[in-house]
Amino acid sequence: MTNQPEVAIFGGGCFWCLEAVYLEVRGVTRVESGYMGGHEAVPTYEQVCAGVTGHAEVVRLEFDPAQISYRDILEMFFTIHDPTTPNRQGNDVGTQYRSAIFFTSPQQEAVARQVVAEMANVWDAPIVTEVTPAATWYKAEAYHQDYFRQHPLQGYCAFVVAPKVSKFRKTFANHLK
């Protein structure tokens, strides 16, 4: 009997960063970049980047809970982005870069709220991460999928994504594929 995969959806700045990390996590079986949490049906990257749709750039993960827990995935999330900066990650500014957890079950909501409360003791500034029910998922355009692996030398990837991936590899070596 195989376990049913669970879904986790997070916004933590540019989706390329989160996607690059979660693609390396043992137990994560699928990672897609996309948009969630806005009001526009079928938003485009240009619309989301312009901040006119209300969507966040997010990653949608499928994972095997027998191999990795939702809590572990959340702890990674809070390590690879700054949950204290409203609508911003580094030089990326706008509501599309907000810190957000979109839960898919009451159990995920409870764990997310517990981890957010715990993180308040770790970070020096207040946690601004939204914890809201998952809404309609829009997969980002094909050229955004697996972006870091395809473009490791692109400027943003080399100077922003690569350091996050490196930090993840050092901090969570026991969870690497």
Cite the active site residues. 14
Q: Which of 103, 162, 163, 153 is nearest to 129 (CA)?
A: 103
Alpha helix (H) ranges present in 13-144? Answer: 15-22, 45-49, 70-80, 106-119
Nearest residue to 57 via CA among 28, 90, 35, 84: 35
Cα separation, 93 vs 95, whole angstroms: 7
Q: 81 is written with which tokens?
A: 């982005």
Q: Please list, residue by residue across 143-173, b when 16 or more beta carbons sit within 10 angstroms of its beta carbon and e when fewer do.
A: ebbbbbeeeeeeebbeebbbebbeebeeebe
**Positive or negative: CA dihedral 80, 86, 90, 95:** positive
Instruction: State how far the Cα of 18 lies from the Cα of 24, in Å rounded to an integer.
Output: 10
